[in-house]
Amino acid sequence: MSFLDALFGKRERSSDVARERLLTVLVHDRVKLTPDMMEQLKADLSAVIARYVPSVDAGAIEVTLLRGEAVDHLKADIPLRRTPQKL
Amino acid sequence: MSRVITITSGKGGVGKTTSTANLGTALALQGLKVAVVDADIGLRNLDVVLGLENRIVYDLVDVVEGRCRLRQALIKDKHFPDLCLLPAAQTRDKDAVTADDMIALTNQLRAEFDYVLIDSPAGIEAGFRNAIAGADEVLIVTTPEVAAVRDADRIIGLVEAFEKGHPRLIINRLKPRMVSRGEMMSIDDVLQILAIDLIGVVPDDELIVTSTNRGEVAVLDRNSRAGRAFAEIARRLAGEDIPITVFDDSSGLLNRIFGAFGIRPRGSER
């Protein structure tokens, strides 16, 4: 989407929407991770990380599959809660 | 009484999945409870056409093999809670399901829905036979092109051999301007060759591409001529006796009402 389109609030072009949707679908088809397995993976990840970093925000973990040029990526975004520091 | 209708074609790429998605949505718009079933095991597509690909947990093969209940596999549509998708498995092949499985599955769906629309795989093999096994009636989609019409003819013979009654025809992607120039077979040409009842004519429409890009269906876009044609077909499916409109591309809506030429949507009296 170009700068001008963004400025005038024009909708994203449908071809771009199509390409993004396809990339997601294709990588999921290939990796064969069902939504159930994805949820399980997130739960396992948060359990492991919590052993080292107690402030992990288990409910906010995002795991996404991304299609890359040469390899696909399993990307995890693991937010940590900010706790007020003790003096 | 619920009805199970299979949408098939013989040739691939003529618009079976688009027709299933649009007719299912149009029937749901009429307030009916509709299930659309993707019977193309291994080549799942109806989910992306309806924009529901991110919601799939279980699929048709999971139901058949008892890994989940039917209800768990049904995905509610984004717009209509009374429209549900039963997705195909993507990682299996068509041998994962038998004709008896499909009959049992459609009988289960009959209990919950007014209409069950089954999107058949292309071809004349097991996948096609499974897709029509539980059907009360069959719609055949063709485009006005030689290869598609030839395959439609073959399929009509098979549907009749399997005692599924007389299938009705959707002529898809008609370009009225090409027909008037004599550069494309007309509706009459196709009907004379295939000798079956016509249920509707869908014009070629770029909005089908853009709506599918977004995972939306054309019947919800009032600017789409194809969408309006599908809405009409859905009314005819539901038993209304309305004349067939050809939505022209040159002058907006050109009401070429076929009744004037003695062609009626036969079979709509059922």
Smallest CA–CA distance, residue A63 to chain B, in Å, is 14
Section A4-28 average pLDDT? 79
Please give the pLDDT value at position A73. 87
Tell whether B189 is covered by a domain: yes
pLDDT digits (tens, 9 = 90+) for B56-114: 999 999 999 999 999 999 999 999 999 999 999 988 887 899 999 999 999 999 999 99
Give the strand pairing for B83-86 and B75-76.
Answer: antiparallel
Please give the pLDDT value at position A87. 64
pLDDT digits (tens, 9 = 90+) for B174-188: 999 999 999 999 999
Q: Do A17 and B214 touch (CB under 8 A)?
A: yes
Smallest CA–CA distance, residue A45 to chain B, in Å, is 21
- Which chain A residue's Cα is nearest to B208? A14
Q: Do B53 and A15 touch (CB under 8 A)?
A: no
Range of the domain at B200: 3-261
Smallest CA–CA distance, residue A82 to chain B, in Å, is 31
Residue B108's SS3 state is helix
Q: What is the pTM of this model?
A: 0.84
- In chain A, residues with a C-beta closer than 8 Å to the C-beta of B212 are 18
Considering CB atoms only, which of B48, B53, B213 is closest to A15?
Answer: B213
Please give the pLDDT value at position B254. 44
Residue with tokens 């072009």: A13
Q: With contact defined as beta carbons under 8 Å apart, do B117 and B77 qualify?
A: no
Section B41-64 average pLDDT? 95
3-class SS string, B127-195 = HHHHHHHCCCEEEEEECCCHHHHHHHHHHHHHHHHCCCCCCEEEEEEECHHHHHCCCCCCHHHHHHHHC
For position B131, which CATH number holds?
A: 3.40.50.300
Task: Using alpha carbons, select from B188, B182, B207, B203 the residue that is nearest to residue B249.
Answer: B203
Q: Which residues on adjacent β-strands are paired with residue B115?
A: B3, B34
Section B132-150 average pLDDT? 96
- In chain A, residues with a C-beta closer than 8 Å to the C-beta of B53 are 21, 24-25
- Which chain B residue's Cα is nearest to A30? B91
Mean predicted lDDT score pLDDT of chain A: 83
Q: Do A18 and B214 touch (CB under 8 A)?
A: yes
- In chain A, residues with a C-beta closer than 8 Å to the C-beta of B48 are 21-22, 25
- Which chain B residue's Cα is nearest to A36? B57
Q: Do A18 and B213 touch (CB under 8 A)?
A: yes
Tell whether B266 is covered by a domain: no
Tell whether B267 is covered by a domain: no
In the predicted model, is pLDDT for residue B269 greater than 70?
Answer: no
- In chain A, residues with a C-beta closer than 8 Å to the C-beta of B55 are 35
Size of chain A, expressed as the number of residues it contains = 87
Mean predicted lDDT score pLDDT of chain B: 91
How many structural domains are present in chain B? 1
- In chain B, residues with a C-beta closer than 8 Å to the C-beta of A18 are 212-214
User: Which of B50, B90, B206, B214 is the best mutation test for A, with the most CBs of A within 10 A?
Assistant: B214
Domain ranges of chain A: 34-87
**How many beta-carbon pairs below 8 A join chains A and B?**
30
Structure letter (DSSP) for residue A80? B
pLDDT digits (tens, 9 = 90+) for B213-267: 999 999 999 999 999 999 999 999 999 999 999 988 654 444 444 444 444 444 3
